[in-house]
Amino acid sequence: MRALVIDDERLARKELINLLSGISDVEVVGEAMNVDDAKEKIAELNPDVIFLDIQMPEKTGFDLLAELEAVPKVVFTTAYDEFALKAFEVNALDYLLKPIEPERLTEAIAKLKSQADTGNDDSNEKTVESGDPKLSLKDQVFVKDGDKCWFVKLENVRLFESDGNYIKVYFDNNKPMIHKSLNALDERLDEKAFFRASRKHIINLSWVEGIEPWFNGGLVVTLKGGDRIEVSRRQAARFKDMMSL
């Protein structure tokens, strides 16, 4: 597993790299000392996992995740951030408290490995800069809305709805807002998995449960969970094409 260590303090990086050197499955491929540095290194080195300090100057670790399009596996490292860690309600992602216990670190690595084995989502290697691959259902995105944060697999997102300059991301019982335009998002999403139903909506095709005709040659799609989304007339034709092979 190729790892990138991100922390603004040299000694903290040194300590973690030192600890990681004792673990045979992990190879530290680089270190970064702030968010911008980290973004470059992630693009360049394409690590499997990043060890990410939350408190860093000017931009926090959360800001880094929000700026990345596809997020590698993340292990947070923090000294004492009850508040920040509470932000993660939904996902069971890992964090290590500094000073890091070597046993906890070994555990975290083992957990990452087992996830990688079962998830086998490493086939679609993702880089942000080169090639610009589309985001597939297996990719996870980081969503931050106010104080709350989530890691969401795109396969769990049933609907994107535009709302002014923001997009509401519907998953489970949450619909946090992200600052992005629906058009920009549409370009990044895999068109085999997501469909632009209308000016306001992008739906996840694997969540479609029912399709009914609607006025003016349009359609209404019912998603699992009961959301009903109107497909505009122009898109309805494309939609029929796609669904009928």
Query: Where does this chain bind another protein (CB under 8 A)?
Result: 8-12, 14-15, 18, 34, 55, 57-58, 79-81, 97-100
User: Which of 34/46 has CB closer to another protein?
Assistant: 34
* Nearer to another protein (CB atom), residue 11 or residue 245: 11
Phi-psi label, residue 226: left if phi above 0, alpha if psi -120 to 50, beta otherwise: left
Amino acid identity of 118? T
Residue 53: phi, psi to the nearest 5? Answer: -75, 140
State the minimum distance, in angstroms, from the CB of residue 140 to another protein: 28
Toward another protein, which CB reaches closer, 58 or 241? 58
Q: In the complex, what is the shortest distance from the CB of residue 28 to another protein, in angstroms, rounded to a whole number? A: 15
Let me know: does 203 contact 159? Beta carbons within 8 Å. Answer: yes
Do 211 and 195 touch, CB atoms closer than 8 A? Answer: no
CA gap 115, 195 in Å, rounded: 29
Residue closer to another protein (CB basis): 100 or 108: 100
- CB 56, min distance to another protein, A: 9
| Residue closer to another protein, measured from CB, 15 or 67 | 15
Q: How far is the CB of 32 from another protein (least distance, A)?
A: 12
The least distance separating another protein from the CB of residue 194, rounded to whole angstroms, comes to 35
Residue 45's Cβ-count burial label (10 Å; 0-12, 13-18, 19+) is middle
Burial of 16 (0-12, 13-18, 19+ CB in 10 A): buried
Residues pairing with 78 in the sheet: 97
DSSP annotation of 156: G
